[in-house]
């Protein structure tokens, strides 16, 4: 059914269809609908894991970027995601980059985006998360991904991140410092150890005990990944999210002229899988086992989730697969993961 719908949706503007999809997911979070869906699509209890000081119903979560403003957290939980990372949130509300800024590459099972951290700002998102907590009921583990406001220059980046952390950490189960998006000028330069270490130290203090991770790029060389792992160890942070989108355009099936016509942006989906796995393996060689590594990038099936877990991932996140496999994506992943772990043949 979804393949038929997608054949229609792919003719429409990707950001418009994302907006429509979010409205449907918000409806899925309404009490009666949520109860019905969660009963049907909750993961098998055997998939429960513990990480970051929390109990997760499964290792499968939604990566940052889908629910930028924490408006559909309950809906994603109803559909089977047991952790949802909202954001990226910035200290200042901002509209993001000019449209069009989201593009599908169906042949490659990929997306290119240059959204530019469009979001309602840390104060509004903090209020929204506080209301979620206040009204109670079942919730997924909620991570909050924070980034630098575009209006803030690099010299003021630390204060900008600290503002967001101060507002959002009290309402987050874990906090993520995003220094790896390619869509905010100068942001990736903050992955340099000389900039990253004082930044993370300041945010760690502002987080006041909320587990803190840093999200890194798949385009870093081995030495840079190792250096960041050492920073995480030195500061005793909770871990690393590996990885963000890539700026590379290697080995795509989509015609080069089409890709060139799209222009700049971060590439996600199947093409980033190999780099994401490479970084995961390297981190597991360099980080202590008590440090979490959340693997994200090119995850489409439960078998791929198992492969990331076998490679040492603490948790696994997905994003682009949700676009291509449809609203029951999380339920499909956890069902396929259960089958892969049991050795059963996957169902069609």
DSSP 8-class letter at 345? P
58, 181, 217, 314: which one is catalytic?
A: 181
Asked if 167 and 126 touch (Cβ cutoff 8 Å), the reply is: yes
Asked if 171 and 164 touch (Cβ cutoff 8 Å), the reply is: no
β-bridge mates for residue 113, sequence order: 102, 266
Dist CA 19 CA 209 (whole Å):
34
Residue 6 host element (H or E) = helix 2-9
Dist CA 224 CA 239 (whole Å):
16
β-bridge mates for residue 242, sequence order: 216, 295
Is residue 181 annotated as part of the catalytic site, yes or no? yes
Dist CA 200 CA 213 (whole Å):
9
Q: Three-state SS across 295-308?
A: EECCCCCHHHHHHH
Preceding omega of 88 cis (within 30 degrees of 0): yes
DSSP 8-class letter at 93? -
Dist CA 11 CA 168 (whole Å):
37
Dist CA 101 CA 115 (whole Å):
5
On the 0-12 / 13-18 / 19+ scale of CB atoms within 10 A, 294 is buried
Which residues are part of the catalytic machinery? 181
């Amino acid at each position: 059914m979804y393949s038929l719908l997608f054949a229609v949706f792919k003719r429409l503007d990707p950001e418009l269809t994302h907006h429509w999809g979010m409205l449907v997911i918000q409806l899925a979070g309404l009490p009666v609908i949520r109860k019905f869906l969660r009963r049907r699509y909750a993961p098998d209890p055997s998939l429960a894991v513990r990480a970051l000081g929390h109990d997760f119903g499964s290792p499968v979560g939604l990566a940052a970027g889908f629910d930028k403003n924490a408006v559909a957290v309950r809906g994603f939980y109803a559909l089977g995601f047991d952790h949802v990372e909202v954001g990226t949130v910035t200290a200042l509300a901002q509209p993001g980059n000019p449209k069009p800024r989201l593009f599908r590459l169906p042949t490659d099972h990929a997306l290119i985006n240059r959204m530019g951290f469009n979001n309602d700002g840390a104060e509004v998102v903090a209020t929204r998360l506080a209301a979620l907590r206040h009204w109670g009921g079942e919730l997924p583990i909620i991570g909050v991904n924070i980034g630098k406001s575009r209006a803030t220059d690099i010299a003021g980046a630390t204060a900008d991140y600290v503002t967001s952390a101060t507002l959002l950490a009290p309402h987050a189960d874990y906090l993520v410092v995003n220094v790896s998006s390619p869509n905010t000028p100068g942001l990736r330069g903050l992955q340099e150890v000389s900039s990253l270490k004082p930044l993370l130290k300041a945010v760690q203090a502002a987080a006041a005990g909320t587990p803190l991770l840093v999200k890194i790029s798949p385009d870093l060389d081995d030495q840079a990944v190792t250096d960041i792992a050492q920073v995480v160890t030195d500061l005793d942070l909770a871990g690393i999210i590996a990885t963000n989108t890539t700026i590379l355009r290697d080995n795509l099936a989509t015609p080069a002229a089409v890709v060139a016509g799209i222009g700049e942006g971060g590439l996600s989906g199947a093409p980033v899988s190999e780099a994401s796995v490479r970084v995961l393996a390297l981190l597991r060689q360099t980080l202590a086992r008590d440090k979490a590594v959340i693997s994200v990038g090119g995850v489409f099936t439960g078998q791929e989730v198992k492969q990331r877990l076998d490679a040492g991932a603490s948790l696994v996140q997905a994003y682009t697969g949700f676009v291509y496999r449809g609203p029951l994506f999380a339920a499909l992943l956890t069902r396929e993961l259960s089958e892969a772990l049991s050795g059963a043949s996957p169902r069609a």
